[in-house]
Amino acid sequence: MKSGMLAAAAFFLLILLLSFIVAIYVQKRMHQLSYQNRLLKALRSLDIAAISTVEIQPLSQAIVDVVRKELGYFFGVIALADYKINGIKRVAISTNEQLEQLLKTLPVRFNDQIVPFNSKDNLFIKVINSQQKTFTENLYDIQAGVLPREFSQKIQREFNLRGVFLYPLITKGRVIGIIEYPTQKKRDQISQFEYTIMEEFTREVARVLDNVMLYQTLKDTSEKLAVANQRLKELDQLKDDFVSVASHELRTPMTAIRSYVWMALHKSDVSLSQKLEKYLYRTLVSTERLINLVSDMLNVSRIEAGKIEINPKPFSIVELTKDVMEEVKIKAGEKRLQLLVLEHSLPQVFADPDKVHEILLNLIGNALKFTYPGGAITVDFFTDGKTVEVSVKDNGLGIARDDLSKLFHKFSRLDNSYTAVSTSGGTGLGLYISRSLVELMHGSIWARSEGADKGSTFTFSLPIATQDILKHAAQFTVKAKGEVKGLEPAAI
């Protein structure tokens, strides 16, 4: 009987012990869940704040408010590293009425509190350099150099602060700032869950702040680029105006010099010595070259300023090519060059004949310049039913493969040695002008060459005057911006 009672008592005790263990476990679990719940709520609020602003200050303010309201700290502070001022600067603090009053009495305004990177005694700098979290019981440790010691002590006393946890905000291996978690608990009262909360929350804060900083950097860069771009446009306009004015001013005296030298050479009533004749001839050639350069520069500035009109109409490209070949016949004769136009029956093209004349004159003129005496220049045509391609082929100097892509840029003279420049006498603008004109007429232009001494072929395409295109003729017309200017004739 007695042993039966003992067994019942033991059983009862066991049940009691088990219930006690279960109760402790449940309580601990509840505790953990409540912390997890706090963290989740805080992270959600952080995400909402991150979506609703792209500015650093309001986002930092929203974060420290979450630290106070959702995580339950007495207040929260964010300080950000500023590499322009070489220091770390407090940017946001969550406040209540009591704190608000205190902030008003600060000897240095909260947002003006900067701790220089080279400060020796402020704990902030240790956190930045070590990239490690830390705790201090002494508020002055993070206010050293910013606020008087007595002031820090007064704050600590007034708010009964037991210390501050400092967590570095790290992204991509770099500290971008520090978040402060001030506490009214003793350090040994801080649970492991609370450390986890600070750890995880800090990591997320670093991520959202880094995103906003990246966005701000991008925004700043694009704003700077827009300003630089505007400045470039203004400079470009200034340059165009200068080229245009200078070219006009240069052309008149140069044309006069050319006429007088020509007259001195050909119409002189005194006989010229051989030497003088040579000098005058050189003056004439150089002046002509200058006039050509000025004409090309004028054409470029007119095209770029949109002063050129395109008035397309249907015409025969073969007939126009034959006309141009007639124009260059004498020049070709001087080098004994053979000129050939391979005739085809072709549909009419829809383009501005004056501008196509300029392009042909430039391409055939180049072929004349860069083909050895006795060589041949052939113009051929091809059509695919939508466009006509015109090819000017020579068997002269050719072009190196690497140079082909440079040809249609401004001042694209390929050999910059002085002799080559002076013998070819070009400006390096002709192909740029040709490309601009072809493109204004909805065509394209390209060059082919097998290499040095293997000749070159320059081809451009123009739309065919189909019924459909004629119906939409207006789309092919280009009106000039402001005053209409013609093109100076291409020199050959």
Which of 94, 156, 387, 456 is in the footprint of ligand ADP by CB under 6 A? 456
Which of 115, 349, 407, 464 is in the footprint of ligand ADP by CB under 6 A? 407
Query: Judged by CB, which is closer to ligand ADP: 163, or 430?
Result: 430
Near ligand ADP in 89-118, by CB under 6 A: none
- Please identify, among the stretches 190-198, 317-325, 338-346, 410-418, the one whose residues bind ligand ADP according to the rule CB under 6 A: 410-418
Which of 412, 466, 478, 485 is in the footprint of ligand ADP by CB under 6 A? 412
Query: Judged by CB, which is closer to ligand ADP: 192, or 416?
Result: 416
Query: Judged by CB, which is closer to ligand ADP: 57, or 424?
Result: 424
Query: Judged by CB, which is closer to ligand ADP: 79, or 397?
Result: 397
Query: Judged by CB, which is closer to ligand ADP: 341, or 414?
Result: 414
CB of 311 to ligand ADP, least distance (A): 24
429 forms part of the interface with ligand ADP (CB under 6 A): yes
Which of 428, 437, 459, 488 is in the footprint of ligand ADP by CB under 6 A? 428
Which of 375, 396, 443, 463 is in the footprint of ligand ADP by CB under 6 A? 396
What's the 3-state SS for the chain? CHHHHHHHHHHHHHHHHHHHHHHHHHHHHHHHHHHHHHHHHHHHHHHHHHHHCCCHHHHHHHHHHHHHHCCCCCCCEEEEEECCCCEEEEEEECCCHHHHHHHHHCCCCHHHCEEECCCCCCHHHHHHHHCCCEEECCHHHHCCCCCCHHHHHHHHHHCCCCEEEEEEEEECCEEEEEEEEEECCCHHHCCHHHHHHHHHHHHHHHHHHHHHHHHHHHHHHHHHHHHHHHHHHHHHHHHHHHHHHHHHHHHHHHHHHHHHHHHHHHCCCCCCCHHHHHHHHHHHHHHHHHHHHHHHHHHHHHHHCCCCCECCEEECHHHHHHHHHHHCHHHHHHCCCEEEECCCCCCCEEECHHHHHHHHHHHHHHHHHCCCCCCEEEEEEEECCCEEEEEEEECCCCCCHHHHHHCCCCCCCCCCCHHHHHHHCCCCCHHHHHHHHHHHCCCCEEEEECCCCCCEEEEEEEEECCHHHHHCHHHHCECCCCCCCCCCCCCC
76 forms part of the interface with ligand ADP (CB under 6 A): no
CB of 463 to ligand ADP, least distance (A): 24
Query: Judged by CB, which is closer to ligand ADP: 151, or 458?
Result: 458
Bridge partners of residue 380, in order along the sequence: 391
Which of 397, 437, 445, 464 is in the footprint of ligand ADP by CB under 6 A? 397
CB of 131 to ligand ADP, least distance (A): 59
Sheet with strand 338-341: strands edge to edge: 338-341, 376-383, 387-394, 456-463, 445-449
When CB distances to ligand ADP are compared, the closest residue is 426
264 forms part of the interface with ligand ADP (CB under 6 A): no
- Please identify, among the stretches 99-107, 216-224, 311-319, 422-430, the one whose residues bind ligand ADP according to the rule CB under 6 A: 422-430
Query: For residues 156 and 182, is the Cβ–Cβ distance under 8 A?
Result: no
Which of 123, 339, 431, 445 is in the footprint of ligand ADP by CB under 6 A? 431
Query: Judged by CB, which is closer to ligand ADP: 432, or 476?
Result: 432
CB of 452 to ligand ADP, least distance (A): 9
Near ligand ADP in 336-395, by CB under 6 A: 362, 366-367, 370, 394
CB of 335 to ligand ADP, least distance (A): 13
Which of 387, 391, 427, 461 is in the footprint of ligand ADP by CB under 6 A? 427
Query: For residues 437 and 355, is the Cβ–Cβ distance under 8 A?
Result: yes
Which of 155, 399, 441, 445 is in the footprint of ligand ADP by CB under 6 A? 399
**Residues contributing to the site for ligand ADP (CB under 6 A):** 362, 366-367, 370, 394, 396-397, 399, 407, 412-414, 424, 426-432, 456
